[in-house]
Structures are given as structure tokens and as C-alpha cells.
Amino acid sequence: MNASETNAYIGLPWVDGARGPDAFDCWGLLRWVEDKHFGLVLPELPALPDETRNLYRAQIEMGAWTVIDRPVHGSGALLRGGDRPHVGVYLDIDGGGVLHAQERVGVVFTAKQQLRMVGYPRASWYSFSV
């Protein structure tokens, strides 16, 4: 995925439960980009938070998702700054950053060093082998 492909997503609206191509929520955007640009099909998230946590744990235990120390192009980003986790995809363009669909904002690209300033002081990076 290059900068011009990334720019095609920026500004698309955030819609709860949207899976693309004209609108996304954060999980929908991550799934779409991983599938269309990196050839990885991520599972759909369950509706209930407890089921989502169980899916996450199961993916880690099976080795399908691996926590990595440093992000690489196409890795998943789990961003935390409050009670609700937020996800995006790390892209090694323009110095590196996260493409994500943010509620009330839409799809944006945030430079890695600016994540803390926009409310995400804790980031984890994931490699997917699904």
C-alpha cells in the first residue's frame, strides 16, 4: 500500500459497523485494508465485548496474531487511551503512521509520533498470519 492508495481512504466517513468501501468503523477499515492490500482476511468481531475479548485471546493463543515490538508496513495497531480500544493499520509511509477510522472524524492518517497527542498514549503492534 503506497501513499496514493492511502490518500483514497482519507476523509471517508466513520459509521458504526461500516465495512466499506464508502464508510468504515475502525475494525471495518483494518479488515478492508488487510484484505485488499495485504491479502489477509481477519475475522469479524462479535457484537458483545466479552466475545470480542475471547476472539482476541483465541487468535493470540493460536499464534494467528502475534504482538511485535516494532510496527512494520501492514501491521495492526491497537491504540488505547481510554476505556475503548481502537484499531488501525500501520503504514510505513511519510515517516510511518496509522491509518484509522475515528468516530466523529472519519478516516485519518496519524503519524506514529503524534498518536499520544491525539489521545492514544498506548499502542501495541500486531502481525497477522491468518
Give the integer Cα–Cα distance in Å for 41 and 117: 31
Using one digit for the tens of pLDDT, what is the confidence trace for 47-70? 666 777 788 788 878 888 899 999
Would the CA dihedral through 85, 39, 47, 50 be positive or negative? negative
Using one digit for the tens of pLDDT, what is the confidence trace for 72-95? 999 999 999 877 789 999 999 999
- 3-class DSSP state for residue 70? coil
Q: Give the predicted TM-score (pTM) of the model.
A: 0.91
- Taken in order of first residue, the domains within the chain and their CATH numbers are 3-128 (3.90.1720.10)
Grid cell, residue 109, equals 492518517
Neighbours of 107 (CB within 10 A): 23
Pairing of strands 122-128, 106-111: unpaired
